[in-house]
C-alpha cells in the first residue's frame, strides 16, 4: 500500500521570522505517521487532532498513512526518526499487543517510544444475533458453558479488537467460543446479522444502528466504563464478570529520546483541544470518547496494557496471521 499523505494547513497563516520563534516548538512542519490505512478510527482521530494542532500552532501538520503488519510498518518508521517531536506515531491498542505476537521486531516498543497520550477510547459493545436465547451476559455465559465449542464469534482477524475482547472474555468466564476471523469488520458483521455467527464485539455507533432495527441484540459494553453512546448498557463487569475491561484505545507516541518539555507541551495542547465542545461533538459522532491523561498516568497505563495483553495473547495462543 502506498503511503497516503494529507497536508493540514490553515489558509492565510504565515510563519513569523525571528530567532525567538525559531527556538520554540514547533518551528517547522510536524508529521503524524498513522500506523493504519485511511478511513478507520486511528486515521480519523489523527486527522482531527492534526487539524486542531495546525490551527493552534499556525503550522503545517502532515498526516502520513503507513499501514502494514498490524502497525509494525508505521512503528518502525517512527522508531528510526529524529527524537525532536517533529515525527509522531498514532496507533491503536495493537501497540500493546504486537510485542507479544511478534518476536522478531526491529524495534522495542518500550525502549524506542515515549507515549504522548492515549487520545481517545473507541467504545465497543458485545452483541449477539437475536435468535440466540440470551438477553444478558450471565445468560450468554450459561449458554456457552452448556454447549462448549458450539457458539461462534466474528472478528476482523487475529489481534483485532474483537479478537482481543472476546478471548479475554473467554478466559475470564472459562467458556469455549469458537473464533471465526474475517478480513475486516464488515464481513463478520454481515454474517452475524445473517445468523451464521453467534456473537461479536464491535464499535458502538455502527452496532447500535443494527440494534435499533432488531438485527442485533446488545448485551453490554466491554470497556471499563459505560459508553456515552449507549449509557443504558452495563459494562461486562457490571453484568457479571468482575474485573473484566477492554478499552479499545488510540494513542500517540514519539521517539523515546524526545525532550520531556516537548512531550509535555504536546500532551497539554492535545488535552486542551480534545476538551473543546466542538471537537468532543465531532468525536462523539464517530463513536470516539476523549481519554487524555497527564504523562505520568499515560506511561503507567500503557505499561499496564502491555503487561495485560501479553498475558492474554499467551494464554489464548493468539498468533499473527
Return mean pLDDT, the chain.
91
As a CATH number, domain 4-121+248-316 is 3.40.190.150
Q: What is the mean pLDDT of residues 261-268?
A: 97
- CATH fold of 124-221, please? D-Maltodextrin-Binding Protein; domain 2 (3.40.190)
Residue 199 zone, left/alpha/beta (φ > 0; ψ -120 to 50; rest): beta
The domains spanning 4-121+248-316 and 124-221 adopt the same CATH topology: yes
Distance (Å, whole) CA 194 – CA 217: 13
Q: What is the pLDDT of residue 51?
A: 96
Percentage with pLDDT > 90 across the chain: 83
For residue 14, is pLDDT > 70? no
Q: What is the pLDDT of residue 183?
A: 87
pLDDT band at 16 (very low <50, low <70, confident <90, very high): very low
For residue 321, is pLDDT > 90? no
**What are 164-194's pLDDT values in tens digits?**
999 999 999 999 999 999 988 899 999 999 9
Q: Which three cell numbers stand for residue 250?
A: 488510540
Q: What is the pLDDT of residue 8?
A: 54
Q: What is the mean pLDDT of residues 277-291?
A: 94
In the chain, where the domains are located:
4-121+248-316, 124-221
Distance (Å, whole) CA 168 – CA 28: 43
Q: What is the mean pLDDT of residues 110-132?
A: 96
CA 236 to chain centroid, in Å, comes to 19
**What are 88-112's pLDDT values in tens digits?**
999 999 999 999 998 889 999 889 9
Confidence (pTM): 0.87
**What are 25-60's pLDDT values in tens digits?**
999 999 999 999 888 899 999 999 999 999 999 999
**What are 223-260's pLDDT values in tens digits?**
999 999 999 999 999 999 999 999 999 999 999 999 99
pLDDT band at 7 (very low <50, low <70, confident <90, very high): low
Q: Which three cell numbers stand for residue 296?
A: 505520568
Q: 3-state DSSP call for residue 179?
A: strand
Beta carbons of 29 and 58 less than 8 angstroms apart: no
Percentage with pLDDT > 70 across the chain: 93
Q: What is the pLDDT of residue 11?
A: 43
Q: Which three cell numbers stand for residue 89?
A: 506515531
pLDDT band at 69 (very low <50, low <70, confident <90, very high): confident
Q: What is the pLDDT of residue 202?
A: 94
**What are 110-119's pLDDT values in tens digits?**
899 999 999 9
Q: If you ran DSSP here, which 8-state letter would residue 235 be given?
A: B
For residue 15, is pLDDT > 50? no
Q: What is the pLDDT of residue 4?
A: 53
Instruction: Please report the beta strands in the chain, taking only residues with DSSP state E, as ranges in sequence order.
Output: 4-8, 30-34, 61-65, 87-92, 113-121, 124-128, 152-155, 178-181, 199-203, 217-221, 249-255, 289-290
Amino acid at each position: 500500500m502506498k503511503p497516503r499523505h494529507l497536508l493540514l494547513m490553515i489558509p492565510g497563516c504565515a510563519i513569523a521570522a525571528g530567532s525567538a520563534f525559531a527556538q520554540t516548538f514547533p518551528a517547522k512542519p510536524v508529521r503524524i505517521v498513522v500506523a493504519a490505512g485511511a478511513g478507520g478510527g486511528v486515521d480519523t482521530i489523527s486527522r482531527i487532532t492534526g487539524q486542531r494542532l495546525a490551527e493552534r500552532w499556525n503550522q503545517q501538520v502532515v498526516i502520513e498513512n503507513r499501514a502494514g503488519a498490524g502497525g509494525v510498518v508505521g512503528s518502525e518508521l517512527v522508531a528510526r526518526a529524529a527524537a525532536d517531536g517533529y515525527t509522531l506515531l498514532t496507533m491503536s491498542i495493537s501497540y500493546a499487543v504486537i510485542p507479544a505476537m511478534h518476536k522478531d521486531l526491529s524495534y522495542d516498543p518500550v525502549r524506542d517510544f515515549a507515549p504522548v497520550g492515549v487520545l481517545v477510547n473507541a467504545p465497543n459493545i458485545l452483541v449477539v444475533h437475536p435468535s440466540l436465547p440470551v438477553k444478558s451476559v450471565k445468560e450468554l455465559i450459561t449458554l456457552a458453558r452448556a454447549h462448549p465449542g458450539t457458539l461462534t464469534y466474528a472478528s476482523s482477524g487475529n489481534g483485532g479488537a474483537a479478537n482481543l475482547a472476546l478471548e479475554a472474555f473467554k478466559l475470564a468466564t472459562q467458556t469455549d467460543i469458537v473464533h471465526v476471523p474475517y478480513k475486516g469488520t464488515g464481513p463478520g458483521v454481515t454474517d452475524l446479522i445473517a445468523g451464521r455467527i453467534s456473537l461479536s464485539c464491535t464499535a458502538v455507533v455502527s452496532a447500535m444502528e443494527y440494534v435499533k432495527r432488531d438485527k442485533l441484540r446488545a448485551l453490554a459494553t466491554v470497556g471499563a466504563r459505560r459508553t456515552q453512546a449507549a449509557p443504558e448498557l452495563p459494562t461486562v463487569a457490571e453484568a457479571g464478570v468482575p474485573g473484566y475491561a477492554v478499552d479499545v484505545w488510540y494513542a500517540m507516541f514519539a521517539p523515546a529520546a524526545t525532550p520531556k518539555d516537548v512531550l509535555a507541551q504536546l500532551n497539554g495542547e492535545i488535552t486542551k483541544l480534545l476538551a473543546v465542545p466542538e471537537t468532543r461533538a465531532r468525536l462523539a459522532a464517530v463513536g470516539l470518547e476523549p481519554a487524555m491523561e497527564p504523562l505520568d498516568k499515560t506511561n503507567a497505563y500503557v505499561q499496564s496494557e502491555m503487561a495485560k495483553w501479553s498475558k492474554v495473547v499467551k494464554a489464548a495462543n493468539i498468533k499473527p496471521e
